[in-house]
Amino acid sequence: MTALESTVDMFDLRMSEKARPLYEQVKTFIAEEVEPRTAEFFRLGEDRAERWGYGEGQLELLDELKNKAKEQGLWNFFLPDAETGEGLSNLDYAYIAMELGKNPIASECLNCSAPDTGNMEVLERVGTPEQKEQWLTPLLNGEIRSAYVMTEPDVASSDAKQIACRAVKDGDEWVINGEKYYASGAGDPRCKIMIVMLQTNPDGPPHKRQSQILVPMDTPGVEILGPMHVFGEDDAPHGHMHIRFNDVRVPESNMLLGEGRGFEISQLRLGPGRIHHCMR
């Protein structure tokens, strides 16, 4: 067998036969349940009292569709089965993400919205039992939303090694100071938790200087300065927020995986996420 023959499968971008029934079920659910309610969802939001909130009946409409998705088993299917470890490949999920992206509320109706999907994957893979109970369970149930906070104003932090926002250990707490840009989802009033990429060891090797820490939105010192605009839009009430951390204190138990492993987590999360996002 030649080298070319041995790698031919890497060029096979067809959906697996195992995933096709789920794919067809998702398409049907969107067409029969989500599409007929989409215009109503946005109409209910037109007269909302707060721009960074929801109109009367909007969240109830979403909950109704979420419950129907749960009943049909169209819920959290991006995660591997907890008992068998089996799940969708990135390629299979990319096809489903493409269908979800055709409707502006479909992803949330099936609990497959960014940035929640990536955050749930991180918590599932590296979270402690306590972290999972506090944050993963309500995310899996679709009860809360979350944000992933990495990008910064003064460094090229699309490179996950370029992080300036600092977390310094003080006793049994981490003290966080700095600013972050484009914190997607942090404008949503249902957003209760952020995974924040921080510099914890500035003198360490480039790939070991960063850590990721769980920061509840209501922690004292978390200041939302306002929304960032993308193509002139602020994407309310989801939002891509400019956040300042002013001596924000969180317990050391909020550290994910361990100090200096933030870059490792970012690759675990961002690699698959970029595939899913580009297909939406």
The last residue of one of the domains, among 86, 112, 138, is: 112
Residue 132 lies in a domain: no
In this predicted structure, what is the pLDDT of residue 4? 45
Q: What is the pLDDT of residues 229-242, one digit of tens each?
A: 999 999 999 999 99
* 99-114: average pLDDT: 96
Residue 139 lies in a domain: no
Residue 124 lies in a domain: no
In this predicted structure, what is the pLDDT of residue 276? 66
Q: Are 18 and 70 part of one and the same domain?
A: yes
Please name the residue that has the structure tokens 């009292």.
49
| Verdict on whether the full-model pTM lies above 0.85 | yes
Bigger pLDDT: 249 vs 79 = 249
Alpha-carbon distance of 128 to 133, in angstroms, equals 9
Please name the residue that has the structure tokens 């938790």.
193
Summary mean pLDDT of the chain: 92
Structure tokens of 41? 């969802």
Structure tokens of 265? 């987590």
Bigger pLDDT: 92 vs 244 = 244
Alpha-carbon distance of 160 to 264, in angstroms, equals 10
Residue 126 lies in a domain: no
Q: Are 155 and 89 part of one and the same domain?
A: no
Please name the residue that has the structure tokens 């959906």.
15
Q: Is the pLDDT of residue 135 over 60?
A: yes
Q: List the CATH number of the domain containing 26.
A: 1.10.540.10
Q: For residue 110, name the pLDDT band (cuts at 50, 70, 90).
A: very high
* 2-26: average pLDDT: 77
List Cα–Cα distances, 226 to 5, 95, 148, 229, 239, in angstroms.
54, 34, 16, 10, 9
Structure tokens of 58? 């909007």
Q: List the CATH number of the domain containing 268.
A: 2.40.110.10
* 251-279: average pLDDT: 86
* 163-179: average pLDDT: 98
Residue 3 lies in a domain: no
Q: Are 74 and 179 part of one and the same domain?
A: no
Q: For residue 78, name the pLDDT band (cuts at 50, 70, 90).
A: confident
Structural domain boundaries enclosing 152: 146-275
- Per-position DSSP letters for 65-92, written without gaps between them: HHHHHHHTT-SSTTSPPTTT-----HHH
Q: CA 212, 216, 218: angle at the middle one, nearest 5?
A: 145
Q: Are 161 and 61 part of one and the same domain?
A: no
What is the domain count for the chain? 2
* 200-205: average pLDDT: 95
In this predicted structure, what is the pLDDT of residue 113? 93
* 36-50: average pLDDT: 96
